[in-house]
Amino acid sequence: MTAIETETFLEYILVEHRWIIVMVALLPISLIWKIWSTFRNYVVFKLNSAPKMHIKKVKEVQSQVKAWLAGDRSTRLCTARPGWQAMSFRQGIYKKTFTNIKVNLVDVLEVDMENMTVRCEPLVTMGQLSRTLEPLGLALAVVPELDQLTVGGLVMGTGVESSSHIYGLFQHFCLQYELVLADGSVVTCSKDENPDLFYAVPWSYGTLGFLTSAVIKVVPAKKYIRLEYRPYNKLSELSHHFIEESLKDKPHEFIEALLFTKNSGVLMTGNMVDKIGDDGKFNPIGKWYAEWFFKQVERHLTNNRTAVEYIPLRDYYHRHTRSFFWELQDIIPFGNHPIFRYLLGWLMPPEVSLLKLTQPEAVTKLYDKAHVIQDMLVPVEHLEKAIDVFHDEFEVYPIWLCPFRVFNHPGQLKIKTNADSQMFVDIGVYGVPKAKGYETVPSTRRIEAFVSKHDGFQMLYADTYTTREEFRAMFDHTLYDKVRDSLPYCKDAFPEIYGKVNRNVRK
């Protein structure tokens, strides 16, 4: 074979049979990486060496920013974390031209059992955190799904999961942030100390400063979740019960729903318990040989009966991790086959970062044309209407539905009511659109217009086709602009949020 033939052949394998690369290379490397990082984190936490190293590591961030400050400041700043390492599908093109600041902060610093908080560095992942907290009988108030999501990404973007109807988004149960600002200083902020900065940090996407630690609220945890599955064959009924459960005075601790078609889905409500009751069976869904969770949920729909199960707590928290919700079925089509699961399931899932690193241009183009990854956040009363519109424009199933509360705080996520809080629903659409006439840009723009018109928000990690004006209308920039004006060198160092998330600066 000539070089060109070899190259086309490799490209062909990468695009058409990506699973081969995933199996032969990615899964084993991912496993070694997982074992090493779990071991390392355990040792650092046990030796309690992280807090001492923290001060030194923050100084290193400061000295890099100060070096930029001493120069001509002709470039802007961003973290040095390569785009392929982040969970979001897109990579920022700006990483190449901005000055990259190494923020190598990966440790859990302290668990405060008295005040029920955990202090951690920004690159701590959700998997690492739930593993650290579980033996102490604790859990984060909300554990965003997917092991590899980081504290930094969730603080600067957002985090939502099935207990968010009680505790809100990630920002609502973070109590303090420590940041290195563009002038090289270190500040801490909370609702009482530098409150403007504190409320502007969430959804700022790294455009105010570098996060170096966060103090986050934890809650007592129990061993299992008692999860009740209720199937529905009518959207209006599912929607009605979903809203009713979310708004109850004493709601279940966990609420989520999956839609499998426009009119059928399963509502799941759960509570923490210490013992397995006799009204349901024990189901360790996190075991390597277990069937993908969304497939198990679908069976409750086929059975058309209410069912109860008892699931180990961490298995529940990371229930969608092994199949990345349902994204993995497109990459490893036979990943849920019993033979594969029993033989090789323990290798799953591959590291998202490695998947992205080995993704050829051709696959990215394919995703551009025929793949949707979006979370749209709308006030919960618009749920049914939103599903109608999403069905017409995308027709992607399953759809993830998760209720969450937005507290009436200052900042970019301004709600249009005077009440203390407002209930929203996260509508997660991940997959290949089947709607007739689907075209990436016009279809997404129509969805964005719907979301804006109904006082909703688009998640920052997803592709946005809004103009700067539309984006600034969706997110209230009043406090954000004020904070940027007041912080020395902030506007020299960082673009606006839109400057980091619009489609032109991402590939």
Ligand X SMILES: *[C@@H]1O[C@H](CO)[C@@H](O)[C@H](O)[C@H]1NC(C)=O
Interface with ligand X (CB under 6 A): 112, 114-115, 233, 304
Distance of alpha carbon 163 from alpha carbon 389, whole angstroms: 26
Residue among 146 and 200 whose Cβ is closer to ligand FAD: 146
CA-CA-CA-CA dihedral for 367, 83, 465, 387, to nearest 10: 60
Distance of alpha carbon 297 from alpha carbon 294, whole angstroms: 5
Return the residue of 45, 205, 254, 471 that touches ligand FAD, per CB under 6 A: 205
Region of residue 459 (left: phi > 0; alpha: psi -120 to 50; beta: else): beta
Nearest residue to ligand FAD by CB is 153
Q: Looking only at residues 404 through 443 of this chain, which bind ligand FAD when binding is defined by CB under 6 A?
A: 430
Distance of alpha carbon 317 from alpha carbon 319, whole angstroms: 6
Tell me the closest approach of the beta carbon of residue 315 to ligand FAD, in angstroms: 16
Tell me the closest approach of the beta carbon of residue 451 to ligand X, in angstroms: 31
Query: Locate tokens 């991402």: which residue?
Result: 506
461 in Cβ contact with 88 (< 8 Å)? yes
Alpha helices in 308-417 (DSSP H): 313-317, 328-331, 338-344, 352-357, 361-370, 383-393
Residue among 275 and 314 whose Cβ is closer to ligand FAD: 314
Return the residue of 127, 152, 312, 495 that touches ligand FAD, per CB under 6 A: 152
- The amino acid at residue 327 is E
Task: Record the tokens describing residue 93, joined without a space.
Answer: 């093109």
Binding region for ligand FAD (CB under 6 A) out of 4-12, 29-37, 219-227, 323-331: 323-331
Distance of alpha carbon 169 from alpha carbon 151, whole angstroms: 13
Tell me the closest approach of the beta carbon of residue 237 to ligand FAD, in angstroms: 25
Q: Report phi then psi at 324, rounded to 5.
A: 40, 65
Distance of alpha carbon 289 from alpha carbon 74, whole angstroms: 53
Distance of alpha carbon 28 from alpha carbon 82, whole angstroms: 22
246 to each of 13, 67, 83, 194, 264, how far by Cα in Å? 46, 50, 36, 33, 19
Q: Looking only at residues 364 through 393 of this chain, which bind ligand FAD when binding is defined by CB under 6 A?
A: 373
Tell me the closest approach of the beta carbon of residue 260 to ligand X, in angstroms: 12
Return the residue of 57, 122, 328, 404 that touches ligand FAD, per CB under 6 A: 122
How many CA atoms lie within 13 Å of 368's alpha carbon, on the beta-carbon side?
A: 11
Distance of alpha carbon 392 from alpha carbon 241, whole angstroms: 23
Distance of alpha carbon 335 from alpha carbon 27, whole angstroms: 12
Tell me the closest approach of the beta carbon of residue 55 to ligand X, in angstroms: 17
Answer yes or no whether residue 206 interacts with ligand FAD by CB under 6 A: yes
Answer yes or no whether residue 492 interacts with ligand FAD by CB under 6 A: no
Q: Report phi then psi at 222, rounded to 5.
A: -115, 180
- Count the helices and strands in the chain (H runs, E runs): 21, 17
Binding region for ligand FAD (CB under 6 A) out of 22-30, 156-164, 278-286, 341-349: 156-164
Distance of alpha carbon 189 from alpha carbon 411, whole angstroms: 14
Tell me the closest approach of the beta carbon of residue 178 to ligand FAD, in angstroms: 10
Selection from 344, 331, 341, 245 nearest residue 293 by Cα: 341
Residue among 128 and 150 whose Cβ is closer to ligand FAD: 150
Question: In Å, how far from its chain's centre is CA 247?
Answer: 24
Answer yes or no whether residue 156 interacts with ligand FAD by CB under 6 A: yes
Answer yes or no whether residue 79 interacts with ligand FAD by CB under 6 A: yes
Q: 233 contacts which partner out of ligand X, ligand FAD, none, CB within 5 to 8 A by kind?
A: ligand X
Q: 408 contacts which partner out of ligand X, ligand FAD, none, CB within 5 to 8 A by kind?
A: none
Tell me the closest approach of the beta carbon of residue 141 to ligand X, in angstroms: 17
Distance of alpha carbon 286 from alpha carbon 263, whole angstroms: 29
Tell me the closest approach of the beta carbon of residue 320 to ligand X, in angstroms: 25
203 in Cβ contact with 157 (< 8 Å)? yes
Return the residue of 18, 57, 76, 81 that touches ligand FAD, per CB under 6 A: 81
Answer yes or no whether residue 86 interacts with ligand FAD by CB under 6 A: yes
Site string for ligand FAD, 207-246 (x = CB under 6 A): ---xx-----------------------------------
Residue among 63 and 304 whose Cβ is closer to ligand X: 304
Site size toward ligand FAD, by CB under 6 A: 34
Q: 193 contacts which partner out of ligand X, ligand FAD, none, CB within 5 to 8 A by kind?
A: none
**DSSP secondary structure code for residue 26 in this structure:** I
Tell me the closest approach of the beta carbon of residue 249 to ligand FAD, in angstroms: 26
Distance of alpha carbon 375 from alpha carbon 160, whole angstroms: 10
Return the residue of 129, 141, 160, 216 that touches ligand FAD, per CB under 6 A: 160
- The amino acid at residue 357 is L
Answer yes or no whether residue 64 interacts with ligand FAD by CB under 6 A: no
Tell me the closest approach of the beta carbon of residue 266 to ligand X, in angstroms: 12
Answer yes or no whether residue 106 interacts with ligand FAD by CB under 6 A: no
Answer yes or no whether residue 483 interacts with ligand FAD by CB under 6 A: no
Tell me the closest approach of the beta carbon of residue 156 to ligand FAD, in angstroms: 3
Which parts of this chain interact with ligand FAD (CB under 6 A)? 78-79, 81, 86-89, 103, 122, 144-146, 149-150, 152-154, 156-161, 205-206, 210-211, 324-325, 327, 373, 430, 461, 500
